[in-house]
Amino acid sequence: MLPSAPLGSCDPPVVPPEVSLPEITLKAVLLSVVLAAVLAAANAYLGLFAGMTVSASIPAAVVSMAILRLFARSNILENNIVQTAASSGEAVAAGVIFTIPALLLIGYWTAFNYWETAAISAVGGLLGVLFTIPLRRALIVEARLRYPEGVATAEVLKVGSLAQGKERAATSQRNVPARGVRLLLGAAVLGGLVKLGESGLRLWSEALEGGLRLGRSVIYGGINLSPALLAVGFIIGPETALVVFLGGALAAFILTPIFGAILGIPENMASLEAARSLWSGRIRFVGIGAMLVGGVWTLLKLRGTMLEGLRRSMGVPKRAVRTLDRSAESPVLRTERDAPWPWVIIPFALTLVPMALIYTHVVGDPIVAILMTIIMAGTGFLFSAVAGYMAGIVGSSSNPVSGVTIATIAFSSILLMLLMGRDNARGPAAALMIGAVVCCAAAMGGDNLQDLKTGHIVGATPWKQQIMQVVGVATAACVIVPVLTLLQAKYGLGEATAQHPHPLTAPQATLMASLAKGVFGGTLPWGLIGLGGVIGALVIFIDQRQEHAGKPFRLPVLAFALGLYLPLKLSAAVLLGGVISGLVQKRSTGASAANQTGLLCAAGLVTGEALMGIALAVPVALSGVWPALSADPFLLFQTPPWGGWPGLLMIVAVGIWLYKNATRPVLITRNPE
């Protein structure tokens, strides 16, 4: 049985079908490109740093309303177009950073290949758009799924639009939440300044951490001093943040001492170094096992949802063709016009050509490359449909994109190993390139239908939104490689090195690299992975008991496994943000405006830190071209003179600021009519 639509989602659209307002305008397109690029860069940084990404639809909508109100003529549909393209950019970034860096981690690339990466991300994002076009009518109009984030974004757009007379209904932008924009920009400045102090000036360490010897073993504790992680915890909420932390606590407080006691710690090794060595050499493989089991369980649990999404996607085309036939006797309403089928079929066929060429270059065998292309197209269609359907139920932020990517890479690796042999050095790269396209398509699938739900509520024209989704995809595909290159040059990815002692952890990419390489090379420590699988199964058992008992607290296995896989210092910072979110919810029960204010502040912190982190990477990258240029022009200290303590004071101050702003009175109010 399908869940019913939320209250109010079946109301008439804000802009009626018979009213035609400008949507794809020059100013909207230019603003869309800028926001898509900025949000793609921010999400790339956050995903590589923390293994999590955040939805940017509401911040993009607020920024759009603030900027477009400066023009003499603007309307709610233009704002919707802007947020549609902007959120598409950040969705593509999420798909890319989960997979593409793995090609460096396995040694296939030494630097990011611009054209291949851009082609993979563009094809994956475009497939996500094309595959979900026939789903719009089935899932949004007929099934009326919830799409919670799409409904929330529509509410923000509606509140920002003030109706003044019949002839200007839903077109005025005089009540745009200017305070919300100020908070967003202020938070971005604050997040950027904190990042400048830590990574640019090096006034304090990026984390406050330490190890303590316990006999012949060691225990670890620490917290990362990042406003972005604090903001992530605030966004995901106290329950999920606690579950992520519990996974990290199990790794640091239980598994690390046990492995240390079993393996022994050299007398001359510092306790912190020993704890880090145990995590990189042992604990993270336990986390991989838990994530593998969590991904498989999530897919099995949602098999009914997946089959229903696939059934609906297979059953839509005939109806959709009739709906899109503009020569039919009955005219199609403006709000029901999707992209015509030639716009779907022809681009789909054309995307297969570059991917087949790339795959041929990778494996050197045209037959295997064609098979890879077929696998990519088939799994991309399946998981785009699945992601689009599940987004309607649980939201796009909760979609198990990691799970479907793990399944794709595992299946592709096994199949390619049978075709190419276990010792083929190109096999892992081939499997990762299939997974990269599918991951981008799945990430886009859920995001697209959230945006189309927003458009359905406000009265947008679907085919125009679908065009702007392609614009967002193209923008992200163009900017993502320079961003990844800068981050690699400044911070490093995955493994710590002498040049990059504190790299961006890139957790999903590291997981995908270990999986693909391990299947071919037989190098995976299956005992540790099996232990992680047992832990994951135990977490699933506890969660099911909680569900059957009707307990409010749940233990989602993927969140727990992510915490187990990440260093504790990251999940501790996320927990702090979750605690602040819980305090705000307790004080502001039922006040959605307070939650919205906190969301804008948190989104600003993430964006500001990410953009500053990327900006600080520019001189490092350029110094490789012009050696005379200082790699760290802002650097005051080689080693932070006061350790992490100033950073702890800063993060506490940021937390207090976030709490105070999130608990202030209503952010947006309607003017009396």
Taking each helix axis as running N to C, give the angle between helix 341-363 and helix 427-458, from 0 to 180 degrees, rounded to the nearest 10. 160
Residue found by looking up tokens 């204010």 in the block? 597
pLDDT in tens, 556-581: 887 888 888 888 998 999 999 999 99
Residue 344 burial by Cβ neighbours in a 10 Å radius (0-12, 13-18, 19+)? buried
pLDDT band for position 471 (cuts 50, 70, 90): very high
Token pair listed for 358: 């790339």
* Residue 173 reports pLDDT greater than 70: no
Instruction: Give the pLDDT confidence score for residue 647 in this predicted structure.
Output: 92
**Cα(538)–Cα(561) distance, rounded to whole angstroms?**
11
**Cα(499)–Cα(491) distance, rounded to whole angstroms?**
9
* Residue 232 reports pLDDT greater than 60: yes
C-beta of residue 651 within 8 angstroms of C-beta of residue 231: no
C-beta of residue 505 within 8 angstroms of C-beta of residue 566: yes
C-beta of residue 42 within 8 angstroms of C-beta of residue 21: no
pLDDT in tens, 383-397: 787 777 767 765 555
pLDDT band for position 308 (cuts 50, 70, 90): low
Instruction: Give the pLDDT confidence score for residue 115 in this predicted structure.
Output: 92
pLDDT in tens, 242-261: 998 999 999 999 999 999 88
Instruction: Give the pLDDT confidence score for residue 589 in this predicted structure.
Output: 53
pLDDT in tens, 85-123: 998 988 898 889 989 999 999 989 988 999 999 999 999
Distances in whole angstroms, Cα of residue 152 to Cα of each of 408, 441, 592, 661: 32, 23, 10, 20
Residue found by looking up tokens 């959605």 in the block? 592
**Cα(477)–Cα(455) distance, rounded to whole angstroms?**
24
Mean pLDDT (whole number) for 530-553: 91
Mean pLDDT (whole number) for 184-208: 89
Type of residue numbered 202: R
Type of residue numbered 111: A
* Residue 5 reports pLDDT greater than 70: no
Token pair listed for 152: 């929330």
C-beta of residue 11 within 8 angstroms of C-beta of residue 65: no
pLDDT band for position 617 (cuts 50, 70, 90): confident
pLDDT in tens, 131-162: 888 778 777 877 677 777 787 788 778 766 64
Instruction: Give the pLDDT confidence score for residue 168 in this predicted structure.
Output: 42
Token pair listed for 584: 């705000």
To the nearest 10°, the Cα dihedral for 657, 660, 662, 663?
170
Least confident of 73-77, 252-256, 616-620: 616-620
Instruction: Give the pLDDT confidence score for residue 540 in this predicted structure.
Output: 93
